[in-house]
A = this chain, B = another copy of it.
Amino acid sequence: MAKSIQTVASTWPDVHRPSQSHTRAQKSAARREAILAAALDEFSAQGFAATRIDDVAKRAGVAKGTIYLYFHDKEELFQELVRTMLVPHVSALAAAQPGERPVRDLLESFFELFVREIYGTKRRNLLRLVMTEGPRFPKLAEFYYHEVVERALAAMRVLIERALARGELKNEALLQFPQLLVAPCIVAIVWSGLFDRYAPLDISAMMHAHLDLLFGARKPA
């Protein structure tokens, strides 16, 4: 049901597999990426405060001091991490593609994308990290609000309006709270951090249930 996603996905920067690099600048960039990748693992496993620069360095295969050549301090590393590795993806999600297709199909694509590119990857942890540490990093939260949330909500509103216009949706309630449209994403992130070991969640199914609730159940093909 989400055939159009590939195109979008393929245009994303692949932050995790820097190509072989030979120039100084390329090497430097690769190193930066390696540090960020290591930081992602450590921060999302331990949280900001409990993560040790030492461990990030070890995981990145560089010396501790090297990290300070690329990032001014631990906090900057953290903020850079979140900005660099999450924003492009979330922005892509937010950039909902208009067109003639039914809005429900678009949303299905959207959720598929979310599941595959965020939830099914380490970025899930990063997203949780934003929720976890955001309150203590107002700058980060503000950045996120403006760079991601505002835009995403605006995009959602566009979709909702079209759905209302097309008669796919009857209820205007969503227009006021587009958050409700993405609520299952939040739930999935939170749930996976806490309860996955006790009761793993079939998040794709949940997304469909969510859409069924909003748009009415689909007739089985």
Contact = CB atoms under 8 A, between A and B. Distances in A.
Contact of A141 (B128, B179, B194): B194
Interface in A188-212: 190-191, 193-195, 197-199, 201, 205-206, 208-210, 212
A3 to B, nearest CB: 23
Nearest to A125: B135
A156 to B, nearest CB: 13
Contacts of A46: 136
A92 interface: no
Nearest to A191: B179
A132 B184 CA distance: 17
Contacts of A194: 130-131, 134-135, 141, 144-145
A149 interface: yes
Chain A interface, DSSP helix/strand/loop, else mixed: helix
A177 to B, nearest CB: 5
Contacts of A50: 49, 136
How many residues of A sit at the interface, in one of the four size bands? 35 or more
A2 B214 CA distance: 25
A144 B210 CA distance: 25
- Residue from A145, A186, A194, A206 whose CB has the most chain B CB atoms within 10 Å: A194
Given A46-B136, A47-B136, A186-B183, A173 B213 contact: yes
Interface of A: 46-50, 128, 130-136, 138, 141-142, 144-146, 149, 171-174, 176-177, 179-180, 183-184, 186-187, 190-191, 193-195, 197-199, 201, 205-206, 208-210, 212-214, 216-217
Given A149-B195, A173-B210, A180-B206, 18 more contacts: A47-B49, A47-B132, A47-B133, A49-B50, A131-B190, A132-B132, A134-B194, A138-B197, A141-B194, A141-B197, A146-B198, A174-B209, A174-B213, A176-B205, A180-B210, A186-B190, A187-B187, A213-B213
13 contacts: A48-B49, A131-B193, A144-B195, A171-B216, A172-B217, A173-B209, A173-B217, A176-B205, A176-B206, A177-B205, A177-B210, A179-B191, A183-B183
